[in-house]
Amino acid sequence: MPDPRIAIVGATGAVGKVALRVLEERNFPLGALRLTASQRSIGKKLSFKGEDIVIEETTARLFAESDIAFISANDDISREMCGLAAKNGCVAIDDSGVWRMDMSVPLVVPEVNADDIDAHKGILSIPNCSTTPLVMALWPIHQVNPVKRVVVATYQSVSGTGAAAMAELDQQSKDLLAGNAVTAKQYPHRIAFNVLPHIGTFDADGYSSEEVKMLRETQKIMHAPELSVTATCVRVPVQISHSEAVNVEFERPISPEEARSLMGAFPGVTLTDDPSNASYPMPIDAADSDDVFVGRVRKDVSLPNGLAFWVVSDNLRKGAATNAVQIAEEVVKRGAWLREGVS
């Protein structure tokens, strides 16, 4: 089969840029690589394996000439672009929130539910960047001892919002350290030296959209509609990587040793768990890694069947670009193309 022709839609964004690096690092087999972005970036160049690629407009023709498109854009643009890609025979792997709970769109963490890919109808969705690390940590245990209930509190980095939020955290920090006034544009309040229990929009029940995603997406990916998740999602002044404090109730008791053994053996999970020697996952260590890091594994002393742990993962990588590229690898492996004759 010829190598697939790939397009990155939104190549200049925080996730798009990382997708380019991940394709390079994984030596993804490329029949072609085309990059698109919004109007103001067209004509600019991005480097890939030492070669400059000119950023072009996102058109029906581009999709007709591509086999897989990574789409990283806001919800409105994603909705339009994924439809256009699929209509033109290109498999869309989307990073936005618009398709995740669509019954006809597989929501995939390849280590967990790669088989769901086979049912796609042109669009595949990657989970929210706070859901993926949670599911990666839960799944290996869930296989032998089903998860009943999860309580999770997140510590999410500003790169989840995008490149402008990363710049704003730096600028606000500089201004505050210099004793100057700060302005907040990306968030309703200052994020520098502060924390905000506010990610997304709030529903009538008082949950944020990010918190609801952690429940619904986890149920969908793990095919576990009875599993309950209650989340508190919080933005913290960290540039890259989301951290999560997780308390889980399982059907039966589980020892920390067994949990460590199951999680540690799972592909894509790295245990960092020697707290007495100050060794535990931290955002600054997880950044630029594809793995999900788990530590602080201990019995939840408040429950007979309880376990507590701490998960950290680069939200731009396993939380977004790496997971998307892994899905593309599965599409290639499975020959799960939209149009005839690619494989």
Active site residues: 129, 242
Q: Is 193 in the site for its own copies (CB under 8 A)?
A: yes
Smallest gap from residue 178 Cβ to its own copies (A): 9
Structure tokens at 61: 């023709």
Q: Is 216 in the site for its own copies (CB under 8 A)?
A: no
Nearer to its own copies, 113 or 232 (CB): 232
> For residue 163, what are the contacts with CB-CB under 8 A and spacing of at least 6?
13, 14
β pairing state of 32-36 and 51-56: parallel
Smallest gap from residue 305 Cβ to its own copies (A): 13
Question: Could you give phi then psi for residue 66, rounded to 5 degrees?
Answer: -125, 155
Nearer to its own copies, 56 or 258 (CB): 258
Nearer to its own copies, 49 or 185 (CB): 185
Which one of residues 239, 261, 305, 343 is an interface residue with its own copies (CB under 8 A)? 239
What three-state secondary structure class fits 279? strand
Q: Is 225 in the site for its own copies (CB under 8 A)?
A: no
Q: Is 224 in the site for its own copies (CB under 8 A)?
A: no
Structure tokens at 178: 């210099």
Residues in contact with its own copies, total (CB under 8 A)?
59
Q: Is 206 in the site for its own copies (CB under 8 A)?
A: yes
> For residue 206, what are the contacts with CB-CB under 8 A and spacing of at least 6?
none
Helix, strand, coil shares of the chain, percent, nearest 5, are 35, 25, 40
- The residues in 150-179 that bind its own copies, with binding defined as CB under 8 A, are 150-151, 153, 155, 169-170, 173-174, 177
Which one of residues 83, 255, 284, 335 is an interface residue with its own copies (CB under 8 A)? 284
- The residues in 304-343 that bind its own copies, with binding defined as CB under 8 A, are 306, 308, 310
Q: What CA–CA distance (Å, rounded) separates 273 from 289?
A: 17
| Dihedral of alpha carbons 88, 93, 96, 98, sign | positive
CB 13 within 8 A of CB 163: yes
Nearest one of 166, 155, 167, 235 to 197, comparing CA atoms: 235
Contact positions vs its own copies (CB under 8 A):
149-151, 153, 155, 169-170, 173-174, 177, 188-190, 193-198, 201-202, 205-208, 215, 228-230, 232, 234, 236-239, 243, 245, 247, 256, 275-276, 278, 280-284, 295-303, 306, 308, 310
